[in-house]
Amino acid sequence: VMFCAAMAQSFASIIRAGIVTVPLTEFEIIERFFAAPGPQRSDVCLGIGDDAAIMQVPAGHDLVSCVDMLVRGQHFPEDMAAEDVGYRAMAVNLSDMAAMGAEPAWATLALSLPEPDESWLAGFAEGLIGLAREHGVALVGGDTVKGPLAASVQMAGLVPSGTALRRDGAQPGDRLFVTGAPGEAAAGLALWQRGLRVPQGPAARLLRRFNRPQPRVAQGIDLRGIASACIDVSDGLAADLGHLVQASGIGAVIELESLPVSDELAEVADPMQARRYVLSGGDDYELWFAVPVRGLLDFERRARVWACAVTEIGEICESPGLFARVCGEIEPLEEGGFDHFR
Protein backbone atom coordinates (compact mmCIF):
# COMPACT_ATOMS: atom_id res chain seq x y z
CA VAL A 1 0.00 0.00 0.00
CA MET A 2 2.85 2.39 0.90
CA PHE A 3 4.53 1.54 -2.42
CA CYS A 4 1.34 2.27 -4.40
CA ALA A 5 0.83 5.56 -2.57
CA ALA A 6 4.41 6.59 -3.26
CA MET A 7 4.05 5.69 -6.94
CA ALA A 8 0.83 7.71 -7.20
CA GLN A 9 2.45 10.73 -5.55
CA SER A 10 5.46 10.43 -7.87
CA PHE A 11 3.25 10.14 -10.96
CA ALA A 12 1.27 13.23 -9.90
CA SER A 13 4.55 15.15 -9.59
CA ILE A 14 5.57 14.07 -13.10
CA ILE A 15 2.24 15.27 -14.53
CA ARG A 16 2.55 18.64 -12.80
CA ALA A 17 6.05 19.00 -14.20
CA GLY A 18 4.71 18.49 -17.72
CA ILE A 19 6.72 15.32 -18.37
CA VAL A 20 3.56 13.26 -18.96
CA THR A 21 0.39 14.75 -20.44
CA VAL A 22 -2.97 13.29 -19.44
CA PRO A 23 -5.59 13.80 -22.20
CA LEU A 24 -8.47 16.08 -21.34
CA THR A 25 -11.81 14.42 -20.71
CA GLU A 26 -14.97 15.48 -22.54
CA PHE A 27 -16.25 17.36 -19.50
CA GLU A 28 -12.90 19.07 -18.87
CA ILE A 29 -12.96 20.34 -22.48
CA ILE A 30 -16.45 21.76 -22.00
CA GLU A 31 -15.65 23.35 -18.65
CA ARG A 32 -12.28 24.80 -19.62
CA PHE A 33 -13.00 26.15 -23.10
CA PHE A 34 -16.75 26.65 -23.54
CA ALA A 35 -18.71 26.86 -20.27
CA ALA A 36 -17.89 30.34 -19.01
CA PRO A 37 -16.22 32.66 -21.56
CA GLY A 38 -19.20 33.76 -23.67
CA PRO A 39 -21.75 36.51 -23.05
CA GLN A 40 -24.39 35.95 -20.38
CA ARG A 41 -27.97 36.69 -21.45
CA SER A 42 -30.89 37.30 -19.11
CA ASP A 43 -33.15 35.17 -21.34
CA VAL A 44 -31.07 32.02 -20.67
CA CYS A 45 -32.81 30.20 -17.81
CA LEU A 46 -30.48 27.21 -17.91
CA GLY A 47 -27.31 26.94 -19.98
CA ILE A 48 -24.35 24.57 -20.20
CA GLY A 49 -24.28 21.77 -17.66
CA ASP A 50 -27.65 20.02 -17.95
CA ASP A 51 -29.24 17.65 -20.47
CA ALA A 52 -30.67 20.58 -22.41
CA ALA A 53 -30.80 24.36 -22.25
CA ILE A 54 -33.83 26.48 -21.39
CA MET A 55 -34.37 29.91 -22.96
CA GLN A 56 -37.21 32.41 -22.81
CA VAL A 57 -38.71 33.62 -26.09
CA PRO A 58 -40.12 37.14 -25.61
CA ALA A 59 -43.81 37.69 -26.32
CA GLY A 60 -44.52 38.96 -29.81
CA HIS A 61 -41.44 37.31 -31.35
CA ASP A 62 -40.86 34.36 -33.68
CA LEU A 63 -38.02 31.92 -33.10
CA VAL A 64 -35.59 31.49 -36.04
CA SER A 65 -33.27 28.45 -36.06
CA CYS A 66 -30.42 27.28 -38.31
CA VAL A 67 -27.52 24.82 -38.23
CA ASP A 68 -24.29 24.46 -40.22
CA MET A 69 -21.48 21.92 -40.15
CA LEU A 70 -17.83 22.49 -41.05
CA VAL A 71 -15.73 19.42 -41.90
CA ARG A 72 -11.95 19.62 -42.22
CA GLY A 73 -10.83 19.23 -45.82
CA GLN A 74 -14.34 19.90 -47.11
CA HIS A 75 -15.31 23.29 -45.70
CA PHE A 76 -11.93 24.54 -44.55
CA PRO A 77 -8.32 23.66 -45.43
CA GLU A 78 -6.54 21.05 -43.36
CA ASP A 79 -3.99 23.59 -42.10
CA MET A 80 -6.35 26.48 -41.38
CA ALA A 81 -5.62 28.15 -38.02
CA ALA A 82 -7.84 26.95 -35.18
CA GLU A 83 -8.95 30.52 -34.43
CA ASP A 84 -10.22 30.91 -37.99
CA VAL A 85 -12.05 27.57 -37.88
CA GLY A 86 -13.84 28.65 -34.70
CA TYR A 87 -14.66 32.05 -36.17
CA ARG A 88 -16.08 30.53 -39.38
CA ALA A 89 -18.18 27.99 -37.44
CA MET A 90 -19.95 30.89 -35.75
CA ALA A 91 -19.93 33.24 -38.77
CA VAL A 92 -21.78 30.94 -41.18
CA ASN A 93 -24.70 30.66 -38.76
CA LEU A 94 -24.72 34.39 -38.07
CA SER A 95 -25.00 34.87 -41.82
CA ASP A 96 -28.10 32.66 -41.90
CA MET A 97 -29.58 34.81 -39.13
CA ALA A 98 -28.75 37.91 -41.18
CA ALA A 99 -30.52 36.49 -44.24
CA MET A 100 -33.68 36.08 -42.14
CA GLY A 101 -33.44 39.53 -40.57
CA ALA A 102 -33.08 37.87 -37.17
CA GLU A 103 -31.28 39.01 -34.05
CA PRO A 104 -28.96 36.10 -33.09
CA ALA A 105 -29.40 35.02 -29.49
CA TRP A 106 -28.30 31.48 -28.56
CA ALA A 107 -26.04 28.76 -29.96
CA THR A 108 -25.08 25.16 -29.29
CA LEU A 109 -21.86 23.50 -30.47
CA ALA A 110 -21.24 19.90 -31.56
CA LEU A 111 -17.50 19.28 -31.86
CA SER A 112 -15.77 16.15 -33.18
CA LEU A 113 -12.06 15.89 -32.33
CA PRO A 114 -9.44 13.29 -33.33
CA GLU A 115 -7.56 14.15 -30.11
CA PRO A 116 -8.13 16.75 -27.37
CA ASP A 117 -5.33 19.13 -28.44
CA GLU A 118 -5.33 21.89 -25.80
CA SER A 119 -3.58 24.45 -28.00
CA TRP A 120 -5.99 23.86 -30.90
CA LEU A 121 -8.99 23.99 -28.57
CA ALA A 122 -7.84 27.27 -27.04
CA GLY A 123 -7.53 28.85 -30.50
CA PHE A 124 -10.85 27.43 -31.71
CA ALA A 125 -12.67 28.68 -28.62
CA GLU A 126 -11.10 32.12 -28.98
CA GLY A 127 -12.35 32.48 -32.56
CA LEU A 128 -15.78 31.01 -31.87
CA ILE A 129 -16.59 32.81 -28.63
CA GLY A 130 -14.95 36.07 -29.67
CA LEU A 131 -17.39 36.41 -32.57
CA ALA A 132 -20.29 35.17 -30.42
CA ARG A 133 -19.52 37.89 -27.88
CA GLU A 134 -19.39 40.51 -30.63
CA HIS A 135 -22.98 39.66 -31.58
CA GLY A 136 -24.34 38.96 -28.11
CA VAL A 137 -24.79 35.22 -28.68
CA ALA A 138 -24.80 32.94 -25.63
CA LEU A 139 -23.35 29.43 -26.01
CA VAL A 140 -25.90 27.33 -24.10
CA GLY A 141 -24.91 23.72 -24.75
CA GLY A 142 -23.66 21.11 -27.19
CA ASP A 143 -21.74 17.86 -27.47
CA THR A 144 -18.09 16.79 -27.76
CA VAL A 145 -17.03 13.46 -29.30
CA LYS A 146 -13.95 11.68 -30.61
CA GLY A 147 -13.82 11.44 -34.40
CA PRO A 148 -12.75 13.29 -37.58
CA LEU A 149 -12.34 17.02 -37.04
CA ALA A 150 -15.70 18.73 -37.58
CA ALA A 151 -17.67 21.48 -35.90
CA SER A 152 -21.40 22.10 -36.08
CA VAL A 153 -23.10 25.15 -34.60
CA GLN A 154 -26.84 25.40 -34.21
CA MET A 155 -28.13 28.93 -33.68
CA ALA A 156 -31.44 30.43 -32.69
CA GLY A 157 -32.51 34.03 -33.02
CA LEU A 158 -35.50 36.32 -32.70
CA VAL A 159 -37.62 38.48 -34.99
CA PRO A 160 -40.76 40.45 -34.21
CA SER A 161 -43.66 38.20 -35.24
CA GLY A 162 -44.27 38.15 -38.99
CA THR A 163 -41.24 40.26 -39.95
CA ALA A 164 -38.66 37.59 -40.88
CA LEU A 165 -37.03 37.90 -44.30
CA ARG A 166 -37.62 34.93 -46.62
CA ARG A 167 -36.56 33.72 -50.07
CA ASP A 168 -40.03 33.46 -51.54
CA GLY A 169 -41.41 37.00 -51.65
CA ALA A 170 -39.73 38.58 -54.69
CA GLN A 171 -41.99 40.01 -57.40
CA PRO A 172 -41.34 41.08 -61.02
CA GLY A 173 -39.95 44.61 -61.10
CA ASP A 174 -38.17 44.36 -57.72
CA ARG A 175 -34.59 45.59 -57.86
CA LEU A 176 -31.73 43.26 -56.89
CA PHE A 177 -28.90 44.28 -54.60
CA VAL A 178 -25.84 42.63 -53.04
CA THR A 179 -23.76 43.75 -50.08
CA GLY A 180 -19.98 43.94 -49.95
CA ALA A 181 -17.57 42.51 -52.49
CA PRO A 182 -18.57 38.98 -53.60
CA GLY A 183 -15.83 36.89 -55.16
CA GLU A 184 -13.09 37.97 -52.77
CA ALA A 185 -13.36 34.88 -50.56
CA ALA A 186 -13.10 32.52 -53.55
CA ALA A 187 -10.02 34.40 -54.74
CA GLY A 188 -8.57 34.14 -51.24
CA LEU A 189 -9.11 30.38 -51.20
CA ALA A 190 -7.43 30.10 -54.60
CA LEU A 191 -4.39 31.95 -53.22
CA TRP A 192 -4.31 29.60 -50.22
CA GLN A 193 -4.46 26.57 -52.50
CA ARG A 194 -1.45 27.94 -54.38
CA GLY A 195 0.51 27.86 -51.13
CA LEU A 196 0.27 31.53 -50.16
CA ARG A 197 0.18 31.63 -46.35
CA VAL A 198 1.60 35.06 -45.44
CA PRO A 199 0.42 37.34 -48.25
CA GLN A 200 1.06 41.05 -48.60
CA GLY A 201 -0.97 43.83 -50.21
CA PRO A 202 -4.28 42.97 -51.93
CA ALA A 203 -3.78 39.24 -51.43
CA ALA A 204 -3.80 39.72 -47.65
CA ARG A 205 -7.33 41.21 -47.77
CA LEU A 206 -8.59 38.42 -50.03
CA LEU A 207 -7.21 35.72 -47.79
CA ARG A 208 -8.68 37.38 -44.72
CA ARG A 209 -12.06 37.55 -46.47
CA PHE A 210 -11.92 33.77 -46.82
CA ASN A 211 -10.68 33.12 -43.29
CA ARG A 212 -12.86 35.71 -41.55
CA PRO A 213 -16.09 36.46 -43.46
CA GLN A 214 -18.17 39.31 -42.05
CA PRO A 215 -21.79 38.24 -41.43
CA ARG A 216 -24.14 41.13 -42.32
CA VAL A 217 -26.36 40.86 -39.27
CA ALA A 218 -27.05 44.59 -38.86
CA GLN A 219 -27.91 44.91 -42.54
CA GLY A 220 -30.32 41.97 -42.40
CA ILE A 221 -32.15 43.48 -39.43
CA ASP A 222 -32.30 46.81 -41.27
CA LEU A 223 -33.95 45.14 -44.27
CA ARG A 224 -37.03 44.02 -42.31
CA GLY A 225 -40.11 45.56 -43.85
CA ILE A 226 -38.13 46.69 -46.92
CA ALA A 227 -36.71 43.64 -48.72
CA SER A 228 -39.23 41.38 -50.42
CA ALA A 229 -36.78 38.44 -50.43
CA CYS A 230 -33.29 37.76 -49.10
CA ILE A 231 -30.62 35.03 -49.09
CA ASP A 232 -27.01 34.88 -48.00
CA VAL A 233 -24.24 34.17 -50.51
CA SER A 234 -22.59 30.95 -49.35
CA ASP A 235 -22.50 28.81 -52.51
CA GLY A 236 -21.92 31.56 -55.08
CA LEU A 237 -23.78 34.65 -56.24
CA ALA A 238 -25.51 33.03 -59.22
CA ALA A 239 -26.25 29.75 -57.43
CA ASP A 240 -27.83 31.46 -54.43
CA LEU A 241 -29.83 33.85 -56.60
CA GLY A 242 -31.07 30.72 -58.36
CA HIS A 243 -32.35 29.42 -55.00
CA LEU A 244 -34.11 32.75 -54.37
CA VAL A 245 -35.91 32.97 -57.71
CA GLN A 246 -36.88 29.30 -57.58
CA ALA A 247 -38.46 29.85 -54.15
CA SER A 248 -40.32 32.89 -55.48
CA GLY A 249 -41.39 31.18 -58.72
CA ILE A 250 -39.98 33.95 -60.92
CA GLY A 251 -36.69 34.86 -62.66
CA ALA A 252 -33.92 37.43 -62.50
CA VAL A 253 -31.75 39.43 -64.86
CA ILE A 254 -28.21 40.31 -63.73
CA GLU A 255 -26.45 43.31 -65.26
CA LEU A 256 -22.99 41.83 -65.78
CA GLU A 257 -21.44 45.25 -66.31
CA SER A 258 -22.68 46.28 -62.85
CA LEU A 259 -21.07 43.39 -60.96
CA PRO A 260 -18.92 44.81 -58.14
CA VAL A 261 -15.25 43.89 -58.60
CA SER A 262 -13.08 45.19 -55.76
CA ASP A 263 -9.70 46.78 -56.42
CA GLU A 264 -8.02 43.89 -54.57
CA LEU A 265 -9.77 41.29 -56.71
CA ALA A 266 -8.92 43.19 -59.91
CA GLU A 267 -5.23 43.16 -58.93
CA VAL A 268 -4.97 39.37 -58.64
CA ALA A 269 -7.30 38.26 -61.46
CA ASP A 270 -7.91 39.26 -65.06
CA PRO A 271 -11.40 40.67 -65.84
CA MET A 272 -12.84 37.32 -66.99
CA GLN A 273 -11.54 35.40 -63.95
CA ALA A 274 -12.66 38.18 -61.61
CA ARG A 275 -16.19 37.94 -63.05
CA ARG A 276 -16.16 34.16 -62.52
CA TYR A 277 -15.12 34.66 -58.90
CA VAL A 278 -17.94 37.16 -58.36
CA LEU A 279 -20.63 34.99 -59.98
CA SER A 280 -19.56 31.50 -58.91
CA GLY A 281 -17.28 31.87 -55.88
CA GLY A 282 -18.70 30.85 -52.51
CA ASP A 283 -17.90 31.64 -48.86
CA ASP A 284 -18.56 35.39 -49.12
CA TYR A 285 -21.58 35.37 -46.78
CA GLU A 286 -22.87 38.60 -48.28
CA LEU A 287 -26.60 39.26 -48.69
CA TRP A 288 -28.55 39.01 -51.97
CA PHE A 289 -31.89 40.79 -51.64
CA ALA A 290 -34.76 42.23 -53.64
CA VAL A 291 -36.40 45.61 -52.95
CA PRO A 292 -39.75 46.69 -54.44
CA VAL A 293 -39.62 50.00 -56.31
CA ARG A 294 -41.93 51.61 -53.77
CA GLY A 295 -39.39 50.91 -51.00
CA LEU A 296 -36.25 52.17 -52.76
CA LEU A 297 -36.15 55.60 -51.11
CA ASP A 298 -36.48 54.12 -47.62
CA PHE A 299 -33.86 51.49 -48.46
CA GLU A 300 -31.39 54.07 -49.79
CA ARG A 301 -31.81 56.14 -46.64
CA ARG A 302 -31.01 53.17 -44.42
CA ALA A 303 -28.13 51.89 -46.56
CA ARG A 304 -26.27 55.23 -46.36
CA VAL A 305 -25.10 54.40 -42.83
CA TRP A 306 -24.19 50.76 -43.46
CA ALA A 307 -20.63 49.70 -42.70
CA CYS A 308 -20.39 47.89 -46.04
CA ALA A 309 -20.93 48.74 -49.69
CA VAL A 310 -24.15 47.79 -51.46
CA THR A 311 -24.56 47.47 -55.24
CA GLU A 312 -27.65 47.29 -57.45
CA ILE A 313 -26.99 44.62 -60.08
CA GLY A 314 -30.29 43.51 -61.59
CA GLU A 315 -34.00 43.03 -61.32
CA ILE A 316 -36.65 40.38 -60.87
CA CYS A 317 -38.48 39.34 -64.05
CA GLU A 318 -41.52 37.19 -64.86
CA SER A 319 -39.73 34.52 -66.95
CA PRO A 320 -38.44 31.75 -64.65
CA GLY A 321 -34.68 31.26 -64.57
CA LEU A 322 -31.50 33.31 -64.44
CA PHE A 323 -30.46 35.68 -67.21
CA ALA A 324 -27.58 38.07 -67.85
CA ARG A 325 -27.68 41.34 -69.72
CA VAL A 326 -24.48 42.15 -71.61
CA CYS A 327 -24.30 45.21 -73.88
CA GLY A 328 -28.10 45.30 -73.99
CA GLU A 329 -28.49 41.63 -74.96
CA ILE A 330 -30.14 39.14 -72.57
CA GLU A 331 -28.99 35.54 -72.45
CA PRO A 332 -29.37 32.58 -70.04
CA LEU A 333 -26.92 32.50 -67.13
CA GLU A 334 -25.42 29.31 -65.76
CA GLU A 335 -25.89 29.06 -61.98
CA GLY A 336 -22.59 27.35 -61.15
CA GLY A 337 -21.48 27.68 -57.54
CA PHE A 338 -20.68 25.10 -54.87
CA ASP A 339 -22.56 21.85 -54.41
CA HIS A 340 -21.49 19.21 -51.85
CA PHE A 341 -22.40 16.29 -54.09
CA ARG A 342 -21.56 17.59 -57.54
Residue from 83, 73, 286, 276 nearest 193 by CA: 73
* 232 pLDDT more than 90: yes
Instruction: Give SS3 for 130.
Output: helix
pLDDT tens digits along 275-308 = 999 999 989 999 999 999 999 999 999 999 999 9
Residues 110 and 234: their CA atoms lie apart, in Å, by 21
pLDDT at 198: 67
- Helix, strand, coil share of the chain (percent; to 5): 35, 25, 35
pLDDT at 14: 46
pLDDT at 342: 46
Q: Cβ of 338: how many Cβ atoms within 10 Å?
A: 16
pLDDT at 7: 45
Cβ within 8 Å of residue 279, ≥6 positions away:
183, 236, 237, 238, 254, 259, 333, 336
If you compute the radius of gyration of the chain from its CA atoms, what whole number of angstroms results?
Answer: 23
pLDDT at 24: 83
pLDDT at 25: 82
pLDDT at 8: 47
pLDDT tens digits along 159-208 = 999 999 999 999 999 999 999 999 999 999 999 888 877 678 888 999 99
Cβ within 8 Å of residue 146, ≥6 positions away:
112, 113, 114, 115
Residue from 155, 145, 140 nearest 49 by CA: 140
pLDDT tens digits along 72-126 = 988 898 889 999 999 999 999 999 999 999 999 999 999 999 998 999 999 999 9
pLDDT tens digits along 5-62 = 444 454 445 445 555 456 788 778 877 888 866 667 889 999 888 889 999 999 999 9
* 221 pLDDT more than 50: yes
Q: What is the DSSP letter of 20?
A: S
* 4 pLDDT more than 90: no
Burial class of residue 224, CB neighbours in 10 A (0-12, 13-18, 19+): middle
